[in-house]
Structure 1
Amino acid sequence: MARSRRTGCSVAAVLAVAVLLLAYSCAGHGSGGGNSGSGGADATAAAGGTAHTTSAGPYDVAPLLHPAGRMLGVVDDKSPWQYDIVKTFTTQAGRAPDIREYYATWGDDFDAEGNTFLWGKGQLPMMALVPSDTALADIGDGYDDAYVRKLAQQIAGYHGPLVLSFAGEMNGPWNSWGPGHAEPADFVAAWRHVHDVFRELKVRNVIWTWSPHVVDSGTTAKLKPYYPGDAYVDWVGLIGYYGPIDGAAFASLFTPTIGQVAGFAHKPLLITETGVAESSAKEAQVRDLFAGADKAGVIGLVWYDQRKDWPGSTQMMDWRIDTSVGSRAAFRAESARHGFGHPFGSG
């Protein structure tokens, strides 16, 4: 979904996050994306979620790659420090989110303190890194390696987990890195190059998440040419919204793309952005979303809880959970019914 992108370097404030220790365990081990090891996180119950500490040594995300439960997240284009979206979501959804997704622009410094703050509050940070006006071909050819190395070292020094979605919606023609602006081969080369630099520097705290937009009337490009390969991806993410143009039901919005992706990718599936626009069908569509996601076996979904214009138009859509009492009730009931909401550390 097209949105305004945050520009400029992140400004990190200094914050001490006080937490108690509790041994963390999470079922399953993954081998994708070059991540390996058996490190984990310490966690303890805290107001608004499950709090975590970060160790002094390198963090290894391997135990998180196959979560035992389904996660529920929220996305905002603001920095990790701007925590109001988490508070609002917690009030509306009746529980704190497990994932807090935010946007960063290529060239930004990594906000280590902000991400530590999120992880300490119980939210798994997810950074959607957008190349903006930087050509994918240049990234793939190594012209920005000084930045890539700096970013990798900053992320490794954060000592916590990070879900990284690079150049998401790469199949969306509205993006400067999408069809008409870059070739699928450029995207794959850029992704692999960035990943290889991180691997060379032994950065193991990143969950590499490939996030195309669902294939619909506005995004008709085949997805397989954009896939970097199972060795370069930990999670497959999908972005799709219930709205006035596409997305009347999970079966038409997500299922065709899930079927297409299943033919070439063999990774856990996360819905990295979704929402249901306000309409007379919203309550039914909220129920359909959670039931469909459950049936599809996704490991979680991340909700866009804001008002925003529909891509390519000036029509304002209200994606918020509580546009009506019925919508909020449906969200709470169906997310609980289908097991969404996974506090890390509870197994």
Structure 2
Amino acid sequence: MAIARRRSRLTAAAILMAAVTFLVNACGAGGGSDAGAGTTTTPAAHFEVSSMLEPSGRALGVVDDKTPWQYGIVTTFTEEAGRAPDIREYYSSWGGDFDAEGNAFLWKHGHLPMMALVPSDTPLADIAEGGDDTYIRRLADQIASYDGPLALSFAGEMNGPWNSWGPEHAEPADFVAAWKHVHDVFEERGVTNVIWVWTPHVVDSGTPAKLRPYYPGDAYVDWVGLIGYYGPIDGVAFSSLFTPTMRQIAGFSDKPVLIAETGVAQSDQKQAHIRDLFRGAAKAGVIGVVWYDQRKDWPGGKQLMDWRIKTSVGALAAFQVESARNGFGHSFKND
């Protein structure tokens, strides 16, 4: 009796141990990725962006500092521009989560989401050395879980001294190493739905640094995105604002060029500058223009400018007519 009861207890313990082992293994195999565990296995993104990397038309987009769910800028832009934006760009701080539902909402309504990922005060060298890999893995997995495309710009205007990751705070090699590291982690996580957009500020009196040292290489970049504004300091014509930078970049890359952030300050020349922007961009063969339809300080300064489309009847008319006349308005869902 005692032996039989002992054997019964041992058998029950063995069964319990086997059940626990099974559950642990099952959870480890199918319970999703643990961003903090350092594993490199994760479900691959459902969406592939390969067909979108060489757009067949010219897109028209809008950018502001609101979240994807704050749809007012899209509604306003649609009313002012005469068509809905093809690209909806927004900013996201380093360390923040990716809003999969908000980006899915944008894509469902025909807007390619573009996220400008801002490293804030996180040193690029720390990112490159793996100090934030837990966050990068988590972000990669969140983006992969979103069944749609995302244009991703990391540490934009890296050649701008006003940024904490710019020339006065970090070396070009730091930026390149950080960019490559983020890209490599995404690749290891199986992310296939990201369009990598390298976005320097145009070379001008405030950003004289050469761009080639900041370029991660064609294997790490899908689009070149330029940032530059028409205003009282440097932006008086496409030929002086964008063309010199495009020529410099053409010396080391032939990737498609997107004007990723631009605007025309209010002045008695705003109508003419808008006309010049769209004509110049079309002639240069850019794949799109993304407009900052807000009031904002002059880049690198504190001079408040009004970049909005409807600052005057003439500006509004020029935007609508010239964007349409020069073929800007292209849904990426057609690619």
**TM-score, length-normalised on structure 2?**
0.86
Q: Give ranges in structure 2 of 5+ residues lacking alignment.
A: 1-43
Q: 2:277 maps to which residue? A: 289
Measured after TM superposition, the shift of residue 333 of structure 1 is 0.6
Partner of 2:151: 163
Q: Provide the C-alpha distance between the structure 1 equivalents of 2:296 and 2:50, rounded to a whole number of angstroms.
A: 35
Deviation at 1:160, TM superposition (A): 0.7
- Which residue of the other structure, out of 84, 94, 105, is the alignment partner of 2:82? 94
Q: Deviations over 1:76-124 (max 9, x none)?
A: 1111000000000000000000000000000000000110011111100
* Structure 1 counterpart of 2:241: 253
Aligned residue identity for 2:171:
E
Counterpart of 1:219?
207
2-structure distance, mates of 1:179, 1:345: 38
The residue that corresponds to 1:106 in the other structure is 94
Superposition map of 1:165-244 within 5 A? 165-244=153-232
Counterpart for residue 316 of structure 1: 304
Code of the aligned partner of 2:323? S
Let me know the Cα RMSD of the aligned residues: 1.1
CA distance in 1, matches of 2:287, 2:51: 14
How far residue 311 of structure 1 moved from its aligned partner, in angstroms, is 3.1
Query: Which residue of the partner structure matches residue 146 of structure 1?
Result: 134
Code of the aligned partner of 1:278: Q
Code of the aligned partner of 1:67 = P
How many Å separate the matches in 1 of 2:144 and 2:333?
22
Aligned counterpart, 1:3: none
- C-alpha distance in structure 1 between counterparts of 2:151 and 2:331, whole Å: 16
- Tell me the distance in 2 between the aligned counterparts of 1:115 and 1:203: 16
Return the offset for 1:316: 1.5
Give the Cα separation in 1 of the matches to 2:286 and 2:120: 29
- Tell me the alpha carbon deviations over residues 229-277 of structure 1, each in whole angstroms, 9 at most, x when there is no partner: 0000000010000001011000000000000000001200000000000
The corresponding residue for 1:136 is 124
For residue 256 of structure 2, what is the amino acid of its counterpart?
P
Cα offset, 1:58, TM superposition: 1.2
Residue 344 of structure 1 and its aligned partner are, at CA, apart by 3.0
Q: CA deviation at 1:201?
A: 1.2
Q: Are residue 335 (structure 1) and residue 320 (structure 2) matched?
A: no
- State how far apart, in whole Å, the 1-side matches of 2:183 and 2:333 are: 28
**Residue 280 of structure 1: how far off its partner (Å):** 0.5
Structure 2 distance, partners of 1:57, 1:288, is 40
Q: Which residue of 2 aligns with 1:53?
A: none
How far off its partner does 1:286 sit? 0.2
What's the offset of the Cα at 1:202?
Answer: 1.3
1:302 is matched with which residue? 290
CA displacement 1:284-335 (0-9 Å, x = unmatched):
0000000000011000010000011213443221100011111011001100
Task: Go from structure 1 to structure 2 and tell me whether the alpha carbon gap of 1:229 and 1:57 turns closer, same or farther (over 3 Å shift).
Answer: closer
Can you list the C-alpha shifts for 1:189-229, whole angstroms capped at 9, x where unaligned? 00000000111111000000000000000000000000000
Structure 1 stretches lacking a partner, 5+ long:
1-55
Q: Distance in 2 between matches of 1:139 and 1:345?
A: 34
Q: Which residue of 1 aligns with 2:26?
A: none
Q: What does residue 124 of structure 1 align with?
A: 112
Q: CA separation in 1, counterparts of 2:135 and 2:312?
A: 45
Aligned-partner Cα distance in 2 for 1:346–1:141: 39
Alpha-carbon distance between aligned partners in 2 of 1:123 and 1:248, rounded to the nearest angstrom: 30
Distance across 2 between alignment mates of 1:256 and 1:99: 25
Matched, 1:70 2:58: yes
Distance 1:298 1:228, change over 3 A: same
Q: Distance in 2 between matches of 1:93 and 1:168?
A: 26
Distance in 2 between residues matched to 1:243 and 1:133, nearest whole Å: 28
Q: How many Å separate the matches in 2 of 1:312 and 1:225?
A: 21
Once residues 271 and 182 of structure 2 are traced to their aligned partners in structure 1, the CA distance between those partners, rounded to angstroms, is 41
**Distance in 1 of aligned mates of 2:262 and 2:303:** 18
Offset of 1:345 from its aligned partner?
3.6
Contact 2:203 2:244 in 1 (8 A): yes
CA shift, 1:343, in A, is: 2.1
Percent of aligned pairs with the same residue?
75
Tell me if the contact between 2:227 and 2:259 (Cα under 8 Å) persists in the aligned partners.
yes
Q: TM-score, normalised by structure 1?
A: 0.83
Q: State whether structure 2 residue 73 is matched by structure 1 residue 85.
A: yes
Q: Deviations over 1:37-73 (max 9, x none)?
A: xxxxxxxxxxxxxxxxxxx961100111111110000
Supply the AA of the counterpart residue of 2:125: A
